[in-house]
Structure 1
Amino acid sequence: MTITVAILGRPNVGKSTLFNRLVGQKLALVDDTPGVTRDRREGEGNLFGFTFRVIDTAGLEERFDASLEGRMRVQTERALEEADITLLVIDVRAGLTPLDEHFANWLRRSNKPVALVANKCEGRAAEAGLAEAYALGLGEPIPISAEHGLGMSDLFHTIQAAIPEADEEGLEDEAAEAAGPLQLAIVGRPNVGKSTLVNKLLGEERLLTGPEAGITRDSIAIDWAFEGRPIRLVDTAGLRRKARVTGKIEKLSTADTLRTIRFAQVVVLLLDVEEGLEKQDLTIARMVVDEGRALIIGVNKWDSCRDRDAALLAIRERIERSLPQVRGVPLVTLSALQGHNIDRLMQAVFGAHEVWNRRIGTADLNRWLEAVTAAHPPPASAGRRVRLKYMTQAKSRPPTFAIFCTKPQDLPTSYLRYLENGLRETFDLPGTPIRINIRKGENPYAKKK
């Protein structure tokens, strides 16, 4: 069965970019100038093998006369009438505008299924706008980057909800088969055995290896499968301290590795057990955490370690002391050369990926919030208690939470760490980055019916 998806939103939020992404071609003109799109444009969208009709519309304007803007609005209204589901696109980097709020109210009255699509969500700069999006009262926003193709699987599941129940089982199977591979990057300092590990995983000498440091220059991506699960495996150039990076090629290699981390889902930081966890390793780990990727520590050359207990204890203590923001990060000892514990490493990768994708129900979160604030209330500010009113999960990948409270600026970092540790313990979120956005305001659903 073919359904119709209409893309609506105020001017210049990325509707045409999303349209082009869904149809797989640059059919719609895209420019930073608002109002490029004027007519409805239709195409055949495709997400993970499922096809549907998609309509790109002009930017919504509050005009009801015979002007050009008024006629454009009529075209948009017709697209809404034809749609089985409407995607209201907002620009989270620009934040909510009165026009976003106006048309969210208009769409709620349309009695059509509406999904809130939070575009331009790449990077941490979008987090504040993503949390604000809940105030529109259209449910959980879908974070995407139409330009970079991020968040398309979440968008697929939203569109899937508009399909009659008789078709859902087949679509779920189709989505599971066609979903993109797990993006796995192997990073670390030079000569710790990254390429050797990749070769052992693949079962062939796919990459050059040797005792010389710095053999790998490019980030090499290889499509692979482990126990039937598709994986895009990326070997990267070794990362040295910035002060030691002098040559042009090494600078390019470093930039390529950092870009790989940004687009990975799970990152294995490989160490040499004889050298332990050095300052540069911690720097790399923090890069991974700052980008919100799932992190695993792989301790290589374990077969050659003479005092294993002391080496492992030193690494664990350094991790606990220097990386408290990813408490419980998986630590796997292995030998890339001999192939020891390779299966254990991959099970840790799958486990970290599952935690990174985990979603927690709003009701469960608010019961937890009530319990932890009762056990340890926030400190008072100017004689008045800071009250945490409401909590929801803004997104996964990594788990990101929004808490609405009375005085967000007066909530100390130590209390946020208390909340973060409580979330990890209660909801079993070891090792993954957790982000908590504190916002001032009422429960955005309290007055919605």
Structure 2
Amino acid sequence: MSALVAIVGRPNVGKSTLFNRLVGRKIALVDDTPGVTRDRREAEGRIGDLRFRILDTAGYEDRFDGSLEDRMRQGTELAIREADVILFMIDARAGVTPLDERFAQVLRKSGKEVHLIANKAEGKAADAGLMEAFSLGFGEPVPLSAEHGLGLADLHAIIGKAVDAKTPPPTLDDEMPDVDIELPPDDGTIEDGPPLRWNPKRYLNVAIVGRPNAGKSTLINTMVGEERLLTGPEAGITRDSIMVPWEWEGRTINLVDTAGIRRKARVEGKLEKLSVGDSLRSIQYAEIVVLLLDATIPFEKQDLALADLVHREGRAMVIALNKWDLIEDKQATLVKLREECERLLPQLRGVPLVTISGLQGRNIDRLMGAIFKIEQAWNTHLSTAKLNRWLYAVIEKHPPPAVSGRRIKMRYMTQAKMRPPSFIIFGSRADAVPASYQRYLINSMRETFDMPGTPIRLWLRSGKNPYADKD
């Protein structure tokens, strides 16, 4: 296992900027507002040829009153206990503050290897702060500029020692002995193997999205079995999209917690816009999206907008009705919600609808079963022969309508790609096919090939007339 390096410090000293620099991508939100980061974020970092795990943490607040800042402090202290190396960051331009001194006391009691990092050290304005940093008792500070990439050579030396300590020396038992292998004679024949089928990959990216306070972070904490993400009664706690790996039935499920998405007109301030943008990017990079609804107030306008967005992005989706333990007449309510779902989301007819309780951990197995089933449908591949047999049958049952007295002919169909399943139909006057008939074809395809709720792309192409340019 590689070394784990935690970046800690008070708010707004540049921890997330250094984290992004070491990861090589801008995955943590960065803003001048103090306290942007609230949850621990882990990723693979690198400096040159050095590889390690890096933890971004919330800014340390000296609070013990059960508030949001108190819960953020507890998350930071947990990261300190887990880390192999602590990078204690201060702002060299601001100098040593009382909160820096209080945090230094906490770090000395941890017994961990702590290295003092003086960020924003470019220019003469940082000289006084660099001298003050000696008073914290961690030796000579490492001058650094996370924004401009200065001082990374010193970090390479610090982290390199921890990586070497975590890497066991090679032994003779690790060497592979020479073995003579007899190959069968090549007679030119090839045995027929089983037909190729879709094989689920080991890693699956699942984004949990929804309105603020729907219970996304609570659900992920229950699934992974620990308080990995910050939760509480306050709406909008989550700001960054945080990925949490989780093992389920032999597969690694990368659960992505996202910030709650409100209506565009209600999004206020630059920071909330950044958070919403991060959530929308998580939908684009996910394979499966779980739209989490509050069962007590389901199918709000924003819920429907999110569902439509997921459909337009071509992601497979499962709708989870959270807080189901608060519903009294469960059977009647479920029947009503299924009817509303079919009526309000006709473009996702048959989308899986699962009732859960993230707080109590109810029906997590049913949720994962629905995720795996929709994943398989999302990866559907149909042979051309099967598609054309289906096409001729549905056309015979319900022919395309005539437009301006001329019939529309559909001659041939093939699958262009998977993820989502995408198909092309070749025929005459493709641009005249009504949208209602296209919906008929898509819904019939969902029923025939067992792809309920799966986004399906259908393109119609007109074949070129070879005699059009001749007399």
TM (normalized to structure 2)? Answer: 0.56
Specify the alignment match of 2:447 in structure 1: 425
The amino acid across from 1:356 in the alignment is: W
Is structure 2 residue 420 aligned with structure 1 residue 398?
yes
C-alpha offsets along residues 46-97 of structure 1, whole Å, 9 cap, x if unaligned?
A: xxxxxxxxxxxxxxxxxxxxxxxxxxxxxxxxxxxxxxxxxxxxxxxxxxxx
Is structure 2 residue 302 aligned with structure 1 residue 315?
no
Matches within 5 A, 1:84-99: none
Specify the alignment match of 2:360 in structure 1: 338
Match of residue 313, structure 2, among 276, 279, 291:
291
The amino acid across from 1:332 in the alignment is: V
| Contiguous gaps of at least 5 residues in structure 1 | 1-163, 444-449
C-alpha offsets along residues 168-193 of structure 1, whole Å, 9 cap, x if unaligned?
A: 99xx9xx979x461110000001111
Specify the alignment match of 2:29 in structure 1: none
The amino acid across from 1:260 in the alignment is: S
Structure 1 position 304, deviation (Å) = 1.5
Match of residue 243, structure 1, among 265, 269, 272:
265
Specify the alignment match of 2:405 in structure 1: 383
Match of residue 441, structure 1, among 463, 466, 469:
463
Identity percentage over the alignment?
A: 59
The amino acid across from 1:395 in the alignment is: K
Contact 1:404 1:442 in 2 (8 A): no
Contact 2:202 2:251 in 1 (8 A): no
Specify the alignment match of 2:210 in structure 1: 188
Is structure 2 residue 278 aligned with structure 1 residue 256?
yes
Alpha-carbon distance in 2 for matches of 1:180, 1:345:
18
C-alpha offsets along residues 267-313 of structure 1, whole Å, 9 cap, x if unaligned?
A: 00011111121111001101100000001000011112122234323
The amino acid across from 1:297 in the alignment is: I
Structure 1 position 397, deviation (Å) = 0.6
Kindly report the root-mean-square deviation, in angstroms, between the aligned alpha carbons of the 2 structures.
2.3
Specify the alignment match of 1:96 in structure 2: none
SS at match of 1:351: helix
Matches within 5 A, 1:106-145: none
Match of residue 220, structure 1, among 211, 221, 242:
242
| Contiguous gaps of at least 5 residues in structure 2 | 1-187, 466-471
Specify the alignment match of 2:220 in structure 1: 198
Larger radius of gyration: 2
Alpha-carbon distance in 2 for matches of 1:233, 1:284:
18
The amino acid across from 1:227 in the alignment is: E
Matches within 5 A, 1:145-164: none
Q: 1:203 to 1:403 in 2, by over 3 A?
A: same
Is structure 2 residue 298 aligned with structure 1 residue 280?
no
Q: 1:165 to 1:333 in 2, by over 3 A?
A: farther
Match of residue 350, structure 1, among 372, 381, 396:
372
Alpha-carbon distance in 1 for matches of 2:189, 2:235:
56
SS at match of 1:381: coil
The amino acid across from 1:314 in the alignment is: K
Contact 1:388 1:405 in 2 (8 A): yes
C-alpha offsets along residues 320-368 of structure 1, whole Å, 9 cap, x if unaligned?
A: 1121111100000011111100011001100010000011110000011
TM (normalized to structure 1)? Answer: 0.59
